[in-house]
Amino acid sequence: MSKYFIVIFLSLSIVLESSANDREDTICGFFKEPLLFWLWSSVAPNPNKIRVSHLNFVVPNEYKTSDGKILRGYKYLSNDGKGRQTPAKGYVLMALGNAMISDQIIGHLREFSEKHLDIYIYDYRGYGNSDGKRRINAIIEDFKEIAASLNESYDRKLFYGISLGGIVILNVIGSGAEYDAAVIDSSPSLLSTYGCPKRIDPLANLPQDASKLLIITGQKDSVLGKSMTSKLRESAHARGAKTVDGENFSHPFMDRSSVVHNQRMELVLKHLIAPELENNNKQ
């Protein structure tokens, strides 16, 4: 997510919340929201199958929303890390940051798949190869549907949201979706102060019992600084969440070295699989 574009988002203050039921209606300003998502998606790379063509166990995946839009992305199939597909013990649904698309990120989650998890990443509507208009309400509603659908097929239910995706995942959690663990990485605390309805604020959707959450922020994050992220982390900590304010962490997938990036991903994976490992040790 570009610092330039988040500044545009946060500085524009036109508010015109729609009263209609169409999920693609604007809720953060008739002018501001379409402009915001046009800017973000315009700096996202074009889809490129070559990015995933060499990855074993990564397959194209689609989800059709209740309003008829096709969201396209990828699924990383559960495997043993030795060339054999394995039955999945659960799933991870990842919600991306803005200006990201699925084929950029899915390859980073190989180690997740090797913990016998199916990994799902979709391009947001209007991004990459997905249908529809780029609207925050629509994106949130899409992921509520996806989570509900996946929950019917898996025992273990895991979420990972970064930046904009953290807002999406907290709204999914706030809607009452069942989950076993979730990581929210470098997401803002509030959007309502910048023209969006309070109902989608990450803080408004933070559960009273946040013990299933890991909240990560970065002290070197040049996209979303301390003033934008610390309140969510501190409130989550007070409600029982695990929290990390990484001294060397930048914005997700923008860390300055592979060593720092790998440290971050290790924290994420450890949190998501920790209860499973504890249960296995008890058996």
Three-state secondary structure of 87-143: CCCEEEEEECCCCCCHHHHHHHHHHHHCCCEEEEEECCCCCCCCCCCCCHHHHHHHH
d(CA 73, CA 280): 32
CA distances from 11 to 7, 8, 110, 166 (A): 6, 5, 38, 21
Task: Output the six-digit token pair for 262.
Answer: 């790998």
User: What pLDDT shows up at residue 17?
Assistant: 35
DSSP state of 146: H
> Beta partners for 29?
none
Residue 141 has phi, psi (to 5 degrees) of: -65, -40
Q: What is the pLDDT along the chain (283 residues), one digit of tens a residue?
A: 444 444 434 433 323 333 335 899 988 877 667 666 665 566 678 899 999 999 999 999 999 999 999 999 999 999 999 999 999 999 999 999 988 999 999 999 999 999 999 999 999 998 999 999 989 999 999 999 999 999 999 999 999 999 999 999 999 999 999 999 999 999 999 988 878 899 999 999 999 999 999 999 999 999 889 999 999 999 999 999 999 999 999 999 999 999 999 999 999 999 999 765 444 434 4
User: What pLDDT shows up at residue 6?
Assistant: 46
DSSP state of 61: E
User: What pLDDT shows up at residue 252?
Assistant: 95
CA nearest to 8, candidates 47, 42, 35 = 35
Work out whether strand 242-246 and strand 90-95 pair parallel, antiparallel, or are unpaired.
unpaired
For the chain, domains (ranges, CATH) are: 3-282 (3.40.50.1820)
Tell me if 78 sits within 8 A of 86, measured CB to CB.
Answer: yes
